[in-house]
Structure 1
Amino acid sequence: MSLDLPALRAAVATQGAVVRILVVTVAGSVPREAGTSMLVWAGGEDGTIGGGELENQAIAEARAMLAEPAPAPRLRPIPLGPALGQCCGGSVTLAWERFDAATLPTALPYTRPLGGSATPRPALDPAPGTPPQVRDGWLVETAPAPGRPLWVWGAGHVGRAIVDVLAPWPGVAITWIDLGPDRYPDRVPAGVTRLPAAEPPALVRYAPTDADHLVLTRSHELDLQLCHALLRHGFASLGLIGSATKMARFRTKLAALGHTAAHISRIACPIGDPTLGKHPQAIAVGVAAALMRAAGAGDLRQERDATG
């Protein structure tokens, strides 16, 4: 994870001043990885660096900084066991930095001195998603790496549950398609791109060929058209809502449309984890877990019937 500049700007616009707590480096067993951050303001916070006493004390220090007129960024190594009595056994280095409208970063990578460093600014241009670096007293952060494209076809109960579960995860960039604007909930999670379309299969041509797809519409005929278009277009993975019976019928129909058995077998149907049940949130949790486990392979297939 790296600096989410839009989220930081939005927090400052809403709260006026915030302190960002950043996990700069880690060693041993720790609650969260380097690059994890959270925002703290006078009346609340957003995100987590792992909870427990580490986060409790880090938030207290952040709130103290909010009361100061122009505090310098702070950097501190913290051994979790000796300093806090936590059982993790590792250590973290945290940075605290106060932002308001006048001090927001204007571009990424974002480089700033820590502790009044007088050394020249380092010549670094790290790639997006690179963990934070400290060089000669300067802290350098990049933009987050782009999430893996995930196209969700359908805004019904299961589609909404999947989007709600996956939208906060930085590992995906969600595009959400349905037949019209009225098909979506009133509030769509931040970062999700809506694409209402009267003919959803016409949008398949615009999908990246390395995208994951979840076909979840209210119409079996539309599901079939989407699977047909996606098989012709290419994808990283394709999950279809339904049962083994539905997949058997689709297999026959897709074969009649000219698709080979090998290509059709790339469709994962049913999706999710059948042991969790068929509730929309249960399906969403199973799908999210499969995507996270795959970490690039995107195999959503389950051998047993998950959805009707």
Structure 2
Amino acid sequence: MNNWISTLATLQNQGEPCVLVTIIEELGSTPRNAGSKMVISAAHTFDTIGGGHLEYKAMQIARDMLVRGQQNTHLERFSLGASLGQCCGGVTVLLFEPMGQVQAQIAVFGAGHVGRALVPLLASLPCRVRWIDSRDQEFPENIPQGVRKIVSEEPVDEIADLPVGSYCIVMTHNHALDLELTAALLKRNDFAYFGLIGSKTKRVKFEHRLRDRGFDTAQLQRMRCPMGLTEVKGKLPMEIAISIAGEIIATYNANFGQHTAGAEPIAKLLPASRRSQAI
């Protein structure tokens, strides 16, 4: 098996996006072989298309694609010569193919009954999931592929390590912990989505306490509570999980690449939830 094929399989299993670079055309007296491939991830390169400045430029382009979350294939034509530090002339055309691009980094706080129904659904999406709880015994024995189980005595401390633009879901067993997680997320304020499980009454109580801590209306509007699509009815854990997963999908499809604190509040993108999540 070619090295690049096994590398792609390994990166896919790890949930790590990468770009496959292929020489698809060679014109002129160049030493490179059409069909040569290399795989480029954010931190590593695998195989080679012949080295030199051309390969260096290919790495720059591929990593820029990864940073921007580009999912479309891309052709780049290089005129070889002095501009690329080559002693011979010619033209090389490279094909850049993004592979395994992650659309969402998701943090789920809480391994209760709804969390156990939700996380396998999220794991089947083009996402990476951090599943966080202080209670190791609440996690299932088999953790889905693409999910990182985090047992932390202080779940709030995990917020500092979340990537910018994360999708954050708070559904712990403890209202006081939910409040502290909410305050920490709103203070950081660089998430793409933040959903808090609970009823409208819970939201009112939390808003009152958060205003006492200095949070303003604009910050509170970024909190989705109750969360989940109203079109998905029911109060069973799986029904609630499906509605939340649907909302996540709708959000990243609408806002992919717009992971800033100035992005539109989720309340403006989705219909108001009427679900009473009694947690």
Query: Scaled by the length of structure 1, what TM-score is found?
Result: 0.57
Q: Go from structure 1 to structure 2 and tell me whether the alpha carbon gap of 1:163 and 1:5 turns closer, same or farther (over 3 Å shift).
A: farther
Aligned to 1:245: 201
Aligned residue type for 1:255: R
| Shift in Å, 1:265 | 2.2
Return the alpha-carbon distance in structure 2 between the equivalents of residues 255 and 207 of structure 1. Answer: 24
Q: What does residue range 60-209 of structure 1 map to in structure 2 within 5 Å?
A: 109=20, 111=22, 119=34, 121=36, 126=62, 127-128=65-66, 130-131=71-72, 141-170=97-126, 172-209=127-164
User: Does the CA-based 8 Å contact 1:209-1:233 persist in structure 2?
Assistant: no
Q: 1:168 deviation in Å?
A: 1.2
Please name the residue that 1:71 is paired with: none
Counterpart of 1:280 in structure 2 is 237
Aligned to 1:291: 248
Which secondary structure state, in structure 2, belongs to the residue aligned with residue 174 of structure 1? strand
Amino acid at match of 1:268: R
Residue 171 of structure 2 corresponds to which residue in structure 1? Answer: 216
Checking the alignment, whether the CA contact within 8 Å between 1:132 and 1:139 is kept in structure 2 is yes
**Alpha-carbon distance, 1:188 to partner:** 0.9
- Aligned partners of 1:238 and 1:217: how far apart in 2? 14
User: How far apart, in 2, do the equivalents of 1:231 and 1:195 lie?
Assistant: 21
Task: Determine helix, strand or coil for the equivalent of 1:109.
Answer: strand
The offset of 1:198, in angstroms, is: 0.6
TM-score (norm 2): 0.63
Amino acid at match of 1:299: I
| Equivalent AA in structure 1 for residue 179 of structure 2 | L
Instruction: Give distance in 2, aligned partners of 1:11 and 1:130.
Output: 15
Match of 1:85 in 2: none
Q: 1:254 and 1:298, CA in 2 relative to 1: closer, same or farther beyond 3 A?
A: closer
Q: Secondary structure at the match of 2:168?
A: strand
1 CA distance for matches of 2:185 and 2:102?
Answer: 22
> For structure 2, which runs of at least 5 residues remain unmatched after alignment?
25-32, 37-48, 77-91, 256-263
Which protein has the bigger helix share?
Answer: 2
Query: Counterpart of 1:175 in 2: which secondary structure?
Result: strand
Distance in 2 (alpha carbons) for counterparts of 1:4 and 1:307: 46
Contact 1:271 1:283 in 2 (8 A): no
Rounded to whole Å, the distance in 1 between the matches of 2:218 and 2:19 is 44
Number of aligned residue pairs: 208
